Amino acid sequence: MSGGISLISPSGDTHHIFNNAGLNMRPNGIALENGGTVLLAHMGDTDGGIYRLHADGRLDPVALTVEGQAMPPTNFVVRDNTGRIWITVSTRKTPRASDYRAAANTGFIAVIEPGENDARIVADGLGYTNECVIDEARGELWVNETFARRVTRFQMNGFESKEVSLSKPSVVCEFDAGTYPDGIALDSEGHAWITSIVSNRIIRVSPDGLQTLMFEDSDEEHLRWTEAAYQNNSLGREHLDNAKGEAMKNVSNLAFGGQDLKTLFIGNLLGDTLPVFKQEISGHAMPHWNVPLGNLEQYLD
């Protein structure tokens, strides 16, 4: 197995597409493109980059450098409506677990302009950068800083040009014990839905920072053990790789789907299922919503 994606049809059938380039890919983030190709954010032990996977398994490099330097292990990738690609790198430290710290500050956000193959940093010094989401209507970008335990919002400038930048960072909210923000998605009312690893929490955050707990499946003893390690600067893989929820297995991200965008699809790092549940608030349609799927269509009947 060399890394790729899985497609799940409405009937539940699953089709796997692994890259045939002979690369040991670790796709942590993925983004669907118009026509059915898929962007992969590669999170290797020491290397990263953005690649494009085709339906037949072909793999093309998109950007392997950032400002001329080799890209570190890459966490997340998303496109905007201009075709620009946004990426996050959680940490420049190796091994990554050495930066599971409240004082983490080597993460960054970068962009890849259409036609370019070298990323450009637009925000730096972040506390273990994880998923980000773009609110084009409001000209904002929200990002999770997992081990700084906060959500930060930036103002986007020059969005329609090649000089896009981020400015005026503001902390939307900070989280208490047990919450380590990982995944993020916007709903139709401009609120962010945040997932937390370890505690299996889903929290809805308003633009002014009000937090509403929407779901939790955690174990108190495990949370106490993890929190003690976090406070003592000894948090490691052993704390993240032993999820203790009854049903959820380390909730990492979520996406709105279904015809009305009111179905939540939940990613589980340690699980072998894709939990879903309905709720009343619709999600905000991302740029890939309803794009032509090209050669991927054959696997989704």
At 1 the pLDDT is: 52
Encode pLDDT of 251-269 as tens digits: 999 999 999 999 999 999 9
Global pTM value: 0.96
What domains sit in the chain, N to C, each tagged with a CATH number? 4-299 (2.120.10.30)
Buried b / exposed e over 4-43, threshold 16 CB at 10 Å, is bbebeeeeeeeeebebeeeeebbbbbebbbeebbbbbbbb
| Residue owning tokens 């930066």 | 99
**If we measure between CA atoms, which residue out of 147, 151, 73 comes closest to residue 103?**
147
The answer to whether 83 touches 115, Cβ cutoff 8 Å, is: no
Per-residue model confidence (pLDDT) at position 301:
74
Residue 128 phi/psi, 5° resolution? 70, 75
Using DSSP's 3-state secondary structure scheme, residue 239 falls into helix
| Tens digit of each residue's pLDDT (9 = 90 or more) over 33-85 | 999 999 999 999 999 999 999 999 999 999 999 999 999 999 999 999 999 99
What type of residue is 94?
T
Name the residue type at position 198.
V
Count, residues in the chain: 301
pLDDT digits (tens, 9 = 90+) for 186-210: 999 999 999 999 999 999 999 999 9
